[in-house]
Amino acid sequence: MSTDEKLVANLTEKEAAKELSRLATQMAAADAAYEEAQPLMSDADYDALRQRNKEIEGRFPALKRADSPSDKVGAAPTGRFKKVRHAAPMLSLDNAFSGEDVTEFETRVKRFLGLGEDDGVALTAEPKIDGLSANLRYEKGKLVQGTTRGDGTVGEDITANLKTIADIPHTVKGAPDIMEVRGEVYLGKEDFARMNAELAARGEKVFANTRNSAAGSIRHKDAGETAKRPLRFFAYAWGELSAPLAETQWEAVQRFEKMGFSINPLMMRAETVGDVLAHYQKIEAQRASLDYDIDGVVYKVDRLDWQSRLGIVTRAPRWAVAHKFSAEKAQTILERIDIQVGRTGAMTPTARLHPVTVGGVVVSNATLHNQDEIERLDVREGDTVVIQRAGDVIPQVLSVVTEKRPKSAKPFAFPERCPACGSAAVREVNPRTGERDVVRRCTGGLICPAQGVERLKHFVSRKAMDIDGLGMRQIEDFFGRHMIREPADIFTLEARHKDGVFNVPGTSDLNSYKRLAPTKSKPARWTAEVTNQKSLDNLFAAIETARSRSVDRALFGLGIRHVGEVTARLLAQRFETAERVVELGRALANGDEAVRDDLVNIDGIGETVADAMAEFFREERNGAAVDRLLAHLTPTQVEAVASESPVAGKTVVFTGKLEQMTRDEAKARATALGAKVASAVSGKTDILIAGPGAGSKLKKAADLGVQTMTEEEWLALVAD
């Protein structure tokens, strides 16, 4: 277990010092990035770091650093803006992706209200603005506080920043004594383009899209900076009210307009679903020509008495739905298809595209998934293709514009040999299903340099051995120079260096190694600034620490197919030492049935893992490389499963945002308590722990009758 995963109570003094240093560096980088309005992490993650730092300092007061993040002056308790609990939660919206979904929404509403089939439910329809929601609190007509949505329950006080927005009145007439107006802060497309051009001219980093840009601007520490950004605001909802605004959604929003707020001109009221769907079409047709980004149309039940009867489910109202537009598409030329070879030899085709802007983001790569996909699309180098970008996922190639195909374009011949090592690349047939794998794999195994380098990257990665200073680029470099070819080489690096092995003229030389350090202005980038000796010392120290990583991390780091984090942990818990797991692997490779039975009887481990282990150890060079590695390690044992825990043996799934722990921490803790952590909800799931923003998994759990709890309820359940 690395120190960043350990509970504070379990840290040794040495680990605590290391952890405080890591936290100071990480938070300084996050602060710098935040000030540049390019946040590196969510606020919840930042707060978690701050909290952890505080706890460690509480336990080891003597270790408190001179540059302790707790002492940063001028910072509110969170280090940034003051946190404010919303008087009424700020909700999110359920999504609809088709007309059918919208009809179902109406049916649900009617059923809930006990209305007949022929009863009408008037709805409002308005664009869903792609910005950030804000809550404006007016007391006796005066704007007293403005907050961000935050997690929906607690937001941040950004009053000064919001007051700089011209669309937001500082005083209003004819409003209830207490009135919270909610709406969207956004940036117009033209203003965004102009702003980016100015940033670029000054050599500063530009924003990817209007939303990021609005987010960065509204949460600027210096409200004077926010004032320079042409932000705007549409009012569309409300929070706490001392008296009702109206009887309908429509009238309430009209009142906002009379008070001096901007309301969206495309908002309409309709009596039938057919009418709102027609309005959706109209808005979608205008989407590109609107001066602000929108990503759908929001429908709301117009009658406010009905809204309050309908209420909310988890975090979203039953009385509203967001009808999303389909993902944005664009056409561009596919210049080349590259094949990337992963650590297990999987060959993934990637489309290299002529750069094109889709939904405000420049795209130059798209995934083509696999060989079947290329054949299905009949996509060729030189083709004009339609690409789609949905949310934050990797863009996809949707189709080929065959009319634009150049005469010379030839069907793409998916390589049957590995581009890195020349070994045969095959599509295996699954012995159980008899089906051909969609993935073509290089069979070069240990001789394939692409697999070798990817395996090493995996070995040093954060969830495996977590070796600081051996980043992806360094691994490629060391591998290329034959200084590290297998995991064991990492642990002999220092000795070889001291022996002068690398100082032979004309051969690779460790002295050219530069640890790349973050700078304040470029926290996310790395520049060579640290002296060689110091960086080398740091690297060697990090390698030293890694020698005693836990057994499960070492096992996971080996990159045996199907032995992921969870399986590695199960193996480590059951067999305790790495040597025993290796023995087991060899026995499996020799066809030892008793051992195999023993293994597949472990809850959570099946035939696939047994097959994969057998295959790995059947290759003697794998076993030998593992032996060489283990000679350098003294892995710590993983705690045994706490079988008396209330969640022992249960299958749990985490979804949404967790506020009190990171996802990794939550998983580690659940596993330590004997629970199985799965990523998808199924009939086998016992508990779904849903944080804010939970979506389809929550729905599925409800459909399947799976027990659902909040993070707090979960913590109470597992508290010792």
H or E, element range at 134: strand 132-139
Whose Cβ is closer to ligand IVH: residue 294's or residue 555's? Answer: 294
Whose Cβ is closer to ligand IVH: residue 77's or residue 244's? Answer: 244
Q: What number of chain residues touch ligand IVH (CB under 6 A)?
A: 15
Whose Cβ is closer to ligand IVH: residue 3's or residue 133's? Answer: 133
Interface with ligand IVH includes 192 (CB under 6 A)? no
Shortest distance, CB of residue 539 to ligand IVH, whole angstroms?
45
Interface with ligand IVH includes 91 (CB under 6 A)? yes
> Mask: binding to ligand IVH, 322-361, rule CB under 6 A, as x and -?
x---------------------------------------
Beta strand pairing status for 294-301 and 320-324?
antiparallel
Render 53-72 in DSSP notation, one character per residue.
Answer: HHHHHHH-GGG--TT-GGG-
Interface with ligand IVH includes 184 (CB under 6 A)? yes
Whose Cβ is closer to ligand IVH: residue 250's or residue 412's? Answer: 250
> Looking at 231, 298, 450, 670, which residue binds ligand IVH (CB under 6 A)?
298
Q: How far separated are the first and last CA of the chain, in Å rounded?
A: 20
Whose Cβ is closer to ligand IVH: residue 317's or residue 452's? Answer: 317
Whole-angstrom distance, CA of residue 595 vs CA of residue 601: 10
H or E, element range at 344: none
Q: What Å distances lie between residue 409 and 370, 380, 385, 406, CA to CA?
A: 20, 6, 13, 6
Which part of the chain contacts ligand IVH (CB under 6 A), choosing from 73-81, 91-99, 547-555, 614-622?
A: 91-99
Whose Cβ is closer to ligand IVH: residue 127's or residue 518's? Answer: 127
Shortest distance, CB of residue 675 to ligand IVH, whole angstroms?
31
- Reading across the β-sheet that carries 178-187, which strands appear in turn? 142-148, 132-139, 178-187, 231-241
With helix as H, strand as E and coil as C, how does 631-669 read? CCCCCECCCCCCCCCCCCCCEEEEECCCCCCCHHHHHHH
> Mask: binding to ligand IVH, 196-235, rule CB under 6 A, as x and -?
----------------------------------------
Whose Cβ is closer to ligand IVH: residue 296's or residue 487's? Answer: 296
Beta strand pairing status for 651-655 and 687-690?
parallel
Beta strand pairing status for 132-139 and 142-148?
antiparallel
From 322, 320, 169, select the one nearest 256 (Cα to Cα). Answer: 169
Q: Residues with Cβ < 8 Å from 306, sequence gap 6 or more?
A: 109, 113, 121, 319
Which part of the chain contacts ligand IVH (CB under 6 A), choosing from 14-22, 90-98, 153-161, 323-331?
A: 90-98
> What are residue 661's phi and psi, to 5 degrees?
-155, 160
Q: Where does 393-482 have alpha helices with state H?
A: 449-460, 472-480
Q: Report helix, strand or coil for 195.
A: helix
Interface with ligand IVH includes 45 (CB under 6 A)? no
Q: Tell me which residue has its CB nearest to ligand IVH.
A: 133
> Looking at 93, 123, 346, 626, which residue binds ligand IVH (CB under 6 A)?
93
Shortest distance, CB of residue 45 to ligand IVH, whole angstroms?
20
Residues 300-319, interacting with ligand IVH (CB under 6 A) = 317
Shortest distance, CB of residue 94 to ligand IVH, whole angstroms?
9
Shortest distance, CB of residue 92 to ligand IVH, whole angstroms?
4
Shortest distance, CB of residue 245 to ligand IVH, whole angstroms?
14
Shortest distance, CB of residue 319 to ligand IVH, whole angstroms?
8
Whole-angstrom distance, CA of residue 537 vs CA of residue 547: 16
Q: Residues with Cβ < 8 Å from 534, sequence gap 6 or more?
A: 515
Residues 142-171, interacting with ligand IVH (CB under 6 A) = 149
Whose Cβ is closer to ligand IVH: residue 259's or residue 366's? Answer: 259
Interface with ligand IVH includes 126 (CB under 6 A)? yes
Q: Report helix, strand or coil for 422.
A: coil
Which part of the chain contacts ligand IVH (CB under 6 A), choosing from 13-21, 121-129, 441-449, 585-593?
A: 121-129
From 589, 549, 588, select the one nearest 565 (Cα to Cα). Answer: 549
> Looking at 236, 261, 292, 502, which residue binds ligand IVH (CB under 6 A)?
236
DSSP state of 445: G
Interface with ligand IVH includes 250 (CB under 6 A)? no
> Structure tokens of 560?
């045996």
Which part of the chain contacts ligand IVH (CB under 6 A), choosing from 128-136, 543-551, 560-568, 668-676?
A: 128-136
Whose Cβ is closer to ligand IVH: residue 8's or residue 322's? Answer: 322
From 204, 189, 74, 90, select the one nearest 136 (Cα to Cα). Answer: 90
Shortest distance, CB of residue 241 to ligand IVH, whole angstroms?
14
Whose Cβ is closer to ligand IVH: residue 263's or residue 333's? Answer: 263
- Residues forming a β-bridge with 425: 442
Q: Report helix, strand or coil for 428.
A: coil
Is residue 251 within 8 A of residue 302, CB to CB? The reply is no
- Residue type (1 letter), 8: V
Shortest distance, CB of residue 143 to ligand IVH, whole angstroms?
19
Shortest distance, CB of residue 95 to ligand IVH, whole angstroms?
8
> Structure tokens of 679?
């990523």
Whose Cβ is closer to ligand IVH: residue 236's or residue 479's? Answer: 236
> Mask: binding to ligand IVH, 252-291, rule CB under 6 A, as x and -?
----------------------------------------
38-44 contacts at long range (C-beta below 8 A, 24 or more positions apart)? 38/205, 38/216, 38/524, 39/216, 40/523, 40/524, 42/657, 43/78, 43/80, 43/150, 43/156, 44/151, 44/657, 44/658, 44/659
H or E, element range at 628: helix 620-630
Q: Residues with Cβ < 8 Å from 410, sequence gap 6 or more?
A: 380, 381
Shortest distance, CB of residue 320 to ligand IVH, whole angstroms?
5
Q: Among the options 6, 64, 128, 676, which is catalytic?
A: 128
Interface with ligand IVH includes 128 (CB under 6 A)? yes
Shortest distance, CB of residue 420 to ligand IVH, whole angstroms?
44
Residues 47-86, interacting with ligand IVH (CB under 6 A) = none
Whose Cβ is closer to ligand IVH: residue 93's or residue 162's? Answer: 93
> Looking at 27, 273, 276, 320, which residue binds ligand IVH (CB under 6 A)?
320
The reply to whether 128 belongs to the active site is yes
Neighbour tally for 37: CB within 10 Å? 20
Per CB under 6 A, residues contacting ligand IVH are 91-93, 126, 128-129, 133, 149, 184, 236-237, 298, 317, 320, 322
Active site residues: 128
